[in-house]
Protein backbone atom coordinates (compact mmCIF):
# COMPACT_ATOMS: atom_id res chain seq x y z
CA UNK A 1 0.00 0.00 0.00
CA UNK A 2 1.36 3.40 -0.92
CA UNK A 3 0.71 6.62 0.97
CA UNK A 4 -1.66 7.67 -1.83
CA UNK A 5 -3.70 4.48 -1.40
CA UNK A 6 -3.91 5.15 2.34
CA UNK A 7 -6.12 8.17 1.61
CA UNK A 8 -9.20 5.96 1.09
CA UNK A 9 -8.38 3.54 3.90
CA UNK A 10 -9.34 4.00 7.54
CA UNK A 11 -7.90 2.70 10.80
CA UNK A 12 -9.71 1.51 13.90
CA UNK A 13 -7.64 2.46 16.93
CA UNK A 14 -7.95 1.66 20.64
CA UNK A 15 -6.89 4.03 23.42
CA UNK A 16 -6.08 2.11 26.58
CA UNK A 17 -5.92 5.33 28.62
CA UNK A 18 -9.35 6.52 27.47
CA UNK A 19 -10.83 3.02 27.07
CA UNK A 20 -12.25 4.17 23.76
CA UNK A 21 -12.16 3.38 20.06
CA UNK A 22 -11.28 5.93 17.41
CA UNK A 23 -11.70 5.71 13.62
CA UNK A 24 -9.61 7.97 11.40
CA UNK A 25 -8.15 7.98 7.90
CA UNK A 26 -5.16 5.64 7.74
CA UNK A 27 -3.08 8.47 6.26
CA UNK A 28 -3.70 10.40 9.50
CA UNK A 29 -2.62 7.37 11.53
CA UNK A 30 0.61 7.17 9.53
CA UNK A 31 1.25 10.91 9.88
CA UNK A 32 0.81 10.70 13.66
CA UNK A 33 3.05 7.61 13.82
CA UNK A 34 5.81 9.51 12.00
CA UNK A 35 5.46 12.40 14.47
CA UNK A 36 5.70 9.96 17.37
CA UNK A 37 8.83 8.44 15.80
CA UNK A 38 10.49 11.82 15.26
CA UNK A 39 9.72 12.99 18.80
CA UNK A 40 10.79 9.69 20.34
CA UNK A 41 7.53 9.38 22.29
CA UNK A 42 5.15 6.49 22.61
CA UNK A 43 1.48 6.58 21.72
CA UNK A 44 -1.61 5.47 23.56
CA UNK A 45 -3.43 4.38 20.40
CA UNK A 46 -3.11 0.83 19.11
CA UNK A 47 -4.29 -0.01 15.60
CA UNK A 48 -6.73 -2.93 15.58
CA UNK A 49 -8.10 -2.97 12.04
CA UNK A 50 -7.80 -1.21 8.70
CA UNK A 51 -10.42 -1.03 5.96
CA UNK A 52 -13.12 1.31 4.74
CA UNK A 53 -14.79 3.68 7.19
CA UNK A 54 -17.84 1.38 7.35
CA UNK A 55 -15.69 -1.73 7.83
CA UNK A 56 -13.80 -0.08 10.70
CA UNK A 57 -17.05 0.92 12.39
CA UNK A 58 -18.38 -2.61 11.94
CA UNK A 59 -15.14 -4.03 13.34
CA UNK A 60 -15.60 -1.76 16.38
CA UNK A 61 -19.08 -3.22 16.99
CA UNK A 62 -17.80 -6.80 16.69
CA UNK A 63 -14.81 -6.07 18.95
CA UNK A 64 -17.14 -4.61 21.57
CA UNK A 65 -19.18 -7.84 21.48
CA UNK A 66 -16.05 -9.96 21.88
CA UNK A 67 -14.74 -7.78 24.69
CA UNK A 68 -18.06 -8.17 26.54
CA UNK A 69 -17.85 -11.95 26.11
CA UNK A 70 -14.29 -11.98 27.42
CA UNK A 71 -15.14 -9.79 30.40
CA UNK A 72 -18.11 -11.99 31.27
CA UNK A 73 -15.83 -15.04 31.48
CA UNK A 74 -12.62 -13.34 32.55
CA UNK A 75 -10.52 -15.19 35.08
CA UNK A 76 -8.90 -12.77 37.54
CA UNK A 77 -5.65 -14.79 37.36
CA UNK A 78 -3.10 -13.61 34.78
CA UNK A 79 -3.02 -15.40 31.43
CA UNK A 80 -0.35 -18.10 31.40
CA UNK A 81 1.46 -19.66 28.46
CA UNK A 82 -1.04 -22.52 28.13
CA UNK A 83 -3.84 -19.99 27.65
CA UNK A 84 -2.02 -18.14 24.87
CA UNK A 85 -3.28 -20.63 22.29
CA UNK A 86 -6.88 -20.04 23.40
CA UNK A 87 -6.36 -16.28 23.06
CA UNK A 88 -4.95 -16.79 19.56
CA UNK A 89 -7.91 -18.97 18.64
CA UNK A 90 -10.27 -16.27 19.89
CA UNK A 91 -8.54 -13.74 17.63
CA UNK A 92 -8.92 -16.15 14.70
CA UNK A 93 -12.58 -16.62 15.60
CA UNK A 94 -12.99 -12.85 15.80
CA UNK A 95 -11.50 -12.32 12.34
CA UNK A 96 -13.56 -15.15 10.81
CA UNK A 97 -16.72 -13.74 12.41
CA UNK A 98 -15.87 -10.22 11.32
CA UNK A 99 -15.23 -11.24 7.70
CA UNK A 100 -18.47 -13.22 7.65
CA UNK A 101 -20.43 -10.26 9.01
CA UNK A 102 -18.83 -7.88 6.53
CA UNK A 103 -19.65 -10.20 3.62
CA UNK A 104 -23.26 -10.51 4.80
CA UNK A 105 -23.48 -6.73 5.20
CA UNK A 106 -22.12 -6.16 1.68
CA UNK A 107 -24.49 -8.76 0.23
CA UNK A 108 -27.42 -7.10 2.00
CA UNK A 109 -26.40 -3.66 0.67
CA UNK A 110 -26.13 -4.87 -2.93
CA UNK A 111 -29.52 -6.61 -3.05
CA UNK A 112 -32.25 -4.66 -4.88
CA UNK A 113 -35.04 -3.46 -2.63
Q: How many CB atoms lie within 10 A of CB 40?
A: 6
User: How far separated are the first and last CA of the chain, in Å rounded?
Assistant: 35
Read out DSSP for 15-74?
ETTTTEEEEEEHHHHHHHHHHHHHHT---SEEEEEEE-HHHHHHHHHHHHHHHHHHHHT-
Determine if the pTM surpasses 0.85. Answer: no
Distance CA 54, CA 47 (A): 16
Strand partners, 11: 24, 50
DSSP state letter for 3: T
DSSP state letter for 78: P
The lowest-confidence range among 31-35, 59-63, 85-89, 94-98 is 85-89
Give tens-digit pLDDT for 33-86. Answer: 999 999 998 889 999 888 889 888 888 888 887 777 777 775 544 444 444 455
Domain boundaries along the sequence of the chain: 5-110
Amino acid sequence: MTNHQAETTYALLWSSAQHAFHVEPFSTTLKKARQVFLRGHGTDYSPLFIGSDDECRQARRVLCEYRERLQAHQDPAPVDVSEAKAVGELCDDFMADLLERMAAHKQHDTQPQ
